Structure 1
Amino acid sequence: MSPTAQDRSGTPVASSGQELIYGCMGLGGSWSAEPYSSVHVDEAAAALEAALDAGITLFDHADIYRSGKSEAVFGEVLASTPGLREKIRLQTKCGIRLGEQGLQTHYDLSRDGIFERVNGSLKRLKTDYVDVLLLHRPDPLADPAEVASAVGQLMREGKVRQVGVSNMSGPQIEALQDHLETPVVANQLEMSLLKRAWLESTVLVNHAEGLDHSFPHGTVEFCGQHGITLQAYGALARGHYSGAPPESPTPAEAATAVLVAEMAAARGTTVEAVLLGWLMRHPARIAPVIGSANPDRIRACAGAARVAAEMTRAQWYRLWVTARGSNIP
C-alpha cells in the first residue's frame, strides 16, 4: 500500500512498497450504450467490498470501460457510502476513443480531449479529483508539450494529483517526461504468467526467438531506474490457469494450470495468490491489477504478497519454464 493508505477504520497503514490494485473494467454491465441498472450498482458494491476485504485501496478505471458505465456505477457506490472516498484512491485513464467519427478506435491526447475526458470521468465517479490520471495509449499525433500543459492545468485545478501512462515504452515515457513538471508515477502494461513478453525480452537478447516478442526491451529497467511503478493488467492470466481455462488448452497451459494448483495446495492458499505472487516476486516490484468482478475470486487474491515472499527462485523459474513450454536459453 502507499504511505497514505488507510485501513477500513480510517487508521493509516504502513506502506509495503507493493500492492494489489482492483481493476474496474468488469463493472457496469455490457459495453453497449444500454443504461446500467441497480443490479450493476449492487455488483459494483460487492466487488468493492471484496477488494477492501483483500486489503486493496487503489481502484483502476478508464473513461471507455463499459462505455463509461464502470465509472458511473462506482460513482453511485461512492455517493451512497459516506467517508469511503477518503479511504481509497482512484485512478482513471483517458486517450482512447471508441466508435466516434466513423472510426472503430482512435487515440486522442489533445489538450481539449484530455480536459473533456477527465471532466467526464469526474462527473461519473462523483468525485472532485482522481489520485492518478493515466494516459491510456501513445497517440502518434500528440504534442508532448500540449499533453504536459493539459496535465499541469488539471493538477493546478486539483482535479488530478499524479500522472502515469499505460502501454508505453521507456523512450516514450522519457520523451513525455521531458515536458512534464511532475514525475510519471506508473506505467500500466499487460504482464502475467501467460503474457510474458516483458520477461522473455530480458533473456532473449541475441537470440532469434527474441524476434517473436514485441515488448520493447529495457522498458522494465527504465521504469525501475526512474521510480515508475509497473502496474500489471491481465495479471490473473485471463483465467487460463484458473477461473476460466480455454476449452482446448495447449500442453503448456494444461501443465501450468496443474502446477499452479499444486503450489497453491502445498501452501494452503489459492491459485490466484500463486499467480499474483509470481509477478510480485520479480524485483521490479510489480503491482498486479485484478480484473475479476467475482467477489470470491477478488478475496482469493489477498495472500499474494505472502506467496511472493515465500516463493523460492527455483519455484519461480519452474512456473516460468512450464508456462513457456520449453527451457530458457
Structure 2
Amino acid sequence: MRTMKLGTSTLDVPVIAVGCMRINELDRAGAERFVQQSMEMGANFFDHADIYGGGECERIFADAAGMSSSVRERMILQSKCGIRVDLGMFDFSREHILASVDGILERLRTDYLDVLLLHRPDALVEPDEVAAAFDQLEREGKVRHFGVSNQTPMQIELLKKSVRQPLVANQLQLSVTNATMITRGFNVNMENDSAVDRDGGVLDYCRLHDITVQPWSPFQFGFFEGVFLDNPKFPELNAVIDQLAGQYGVSNTTIAIAWLLRHPAHMQPVTGTTKVERLRDCARAADVNLTRQEWYAVLRAAGNTLP
C-alpha cells in the first residue's frame, strides 16, 4: 500500500490505518484472519485505545497476531489514553498516562508503542504533567511518537507550552457528511450555520504545522447515527458515489475513503471494519485519485452547499 510520513516524523505509515475498536466482535479464528490479511495487504498500522472493549481489544489483537519480536517489527502500533470510563471523566495526569501506557503495553505484549495519542481533551490538563509523562515514556523507550485526538488548535498550543516532542497526529471525526472543518472555509463572513467556527480552524492548523489528520468514523453521519453509504437518507450522495464507483471499477466504500485521501492535507483515515473484504475496499482507495470536479461533486451531493 502507498505510504506517507506521519506528521513531522520519519515514520513511514500506510495511508490507511486499521481501527481495532470492534475486534472483540470476532471469534479467535476471525481475529487471526483479520490481522493476517490486513498485514498481507500492507495495512500494518493498527489503531487502538485503552478503552476499546474495556482493554480487551488490545489483548485479543495481540493473541490474534501471535505477537512476537518478529511480528512486532513488521507492524506499527498506535494507542490512545485519557478517558476514564469507570469514573466518568478525562484524565491527562502524569500518573494516569504512565499507568495507561503500562497497561497498553502489557495487553499488546510489546515493549513500545510507535504512537501514543491523548484521547479526549481533559479540561483539567496541566501541560507540565503531560510533558513529564511524555519525557519519561520517551526516555524509557516505551513510546516513540506522540499525538492527540479530538483537539482544537489552542488545546494543542497549550500542550506545546510544555511538551517538547512533536505532536505528529490529531485524530478527528471527519467524513463527507461530517465535514464542517472543511466547509467552514467556504463561508467566511456568511450568515449561515456553515460559517460557525466549531473547531478553531483545526484543519488549516494541522496543515500549517504538519500534523497528520486521522479521520475517524469516515462513513458515519452525526455522532454514530449510522453510515451514509446505501442509506436512503442520502439518495443524491449515494447516486454520485455509486456513479464514481462504477467509473473507477471499485466499491462505494473505496470512493468514500478516496474522497478523504484526495484532500491535500494528506490525511490517514482510520477504518473501523472487521470485515476483510471491506478493509480491502478501503485499501484500494490508495490507488484512486479523484479529480477536483469529482471531489466537489461528492461534497455537494452530501448537502454541503457552496456560497
Please report the TM-score for the alignment, with normalisation by the length of structure 1: 0.84
- For the residue of structure 2 that corresponds to 1:46, the secondary structure is helix
Q: Does 1:321 align with 2:306?
A: no
> What pairs with 1:124-135 in structure 2 (closer than 5 Å)?
124-135=107-118
Q: Does 1:219 align with 2:197?
A: no
Q: Does 1:41 align with 2:28?
A: yes
Corresponding residue to 2:101 among 99, 118, 123: 118
- For the residue of structure 1 that corresponds to 2:193, the secondary structure is helix
Instruction: Determine if contact 1:192/1:232 at 8 Å carries over to the other structure.
Output: yes
Between the two proteins, what is the percent identity of the paired residues? Answer: 36
Partner of 1:11: none
Deviation at 1:132, TM superposition (A): 0.3
> What pairs with 1:34-73 in structure 2 (closer than 5 Å)?
40-73=27-60
Instruction: Determine if contact 1:54/1:301 at 8 Å carries over to the other structure.
Output: no
- For the residue of structure 1 that corresponds to 2:282, the secondary structure is coil
| CA distance, structure 2, for counterparts of residue 227 and residue 88 of structure 1 | 23
Instruction: Determine if contact 1:187/1:230 at 8 Å carries over to the other structure.
Output: yes
Where does structure 1 lack aligned partners over 5 or more consecutive residues? 5-13, 30-38
Residues 1:312 and 1:175: Cα distance change in structure 2 (over 3 Å):
same
Partner of 2:16: 20
Instruction: Determine if contact 2:117/2:146 at 8 Å carries over to the other structure.
Output: yes
Instruction: Determine if contact 1:27/1:69 at 8 Å carries over to the other structure.
Output: no
Where does structure 2 lack aligned partners over 5 or more consecutive residues? none
- For the residue of structure 2 that corresponds to 1:264, the secondary structure is helix
Instruction: Determine if contact 2:183/2:194 at 8 Å carries over to the other structure.
Output: no
Length, aligned pairs only: 297
| CA distance, structure 2, for counterparts of residue 47 and residue 208 of structure 1 | 48
What are the superposed Cα offsets for residues 32-54 of structure 1, whole Å, 9 maximum, x if unpaired?
A: xxxxxxx6333222222232233
Corresponding residue to 1:200 among 179, 183, 194: 183
Partner of 2:247: 266
- For the residue of structure 1 that corresponds to 2:214, the secondary structure is strand
Q: Which amino acid aligns with 2:298?
A: L
| CA distance, structure 2, for counterparts of residue 122 and residue 94 of structure 1 | 12
Deviation at 1:314, TM superposition (A): 0.9
Corresponding residue to 1:148 among 131, 156, 170: 131
| CA distance, structure 2, for counterparts of residue 201 and residue 318 of structure 1 | 17
Corresponding residue to 2:266 among 264, 285, 303: 285
Deviation at 1:82, TM superposition (A): 6.2
Residues 1:203 and 1:93: Cα distance change in structure 2 (over 3 Å):
same
- For the residue of structure 1 that corresponds to 2:302, the secondary structure is helix
What are the superposed Cα offsets for residues 235-267 of structure 1, whole Å, 9 maximum, x if unpaired?
A: 13366343xx45xx33xx122112211111111
Instruction: Determine if contact 1:44/1:74 at 8 Å carries over to the other structure.
Output: yes
What are the superposed Cα offsets for residues 17-37 of structure 1, whole Å, 9 maximum, x if unpaired?
A: 8611000001113xxxxxxxx
| CA distance, structure 2, for counterparts of residue 53 and residue 268 of structure 1 | 22
Partner of 1:302: 283
Partner of 2:84: 97
| CA distance, structure 2, for counterparts of residue 285 and residue 117 of structure 1 | 30
- For the residue of structure 2 that corresponds to 1:185, the secondary structure is strand
Deviation at 1:3, TM superposition (A): 6.3
What are the superposed Cα offsets for residues 265-297 of structure 1, whole Å, 9 maximum, x if unpaired?
A: 111112121111111111111111111111110
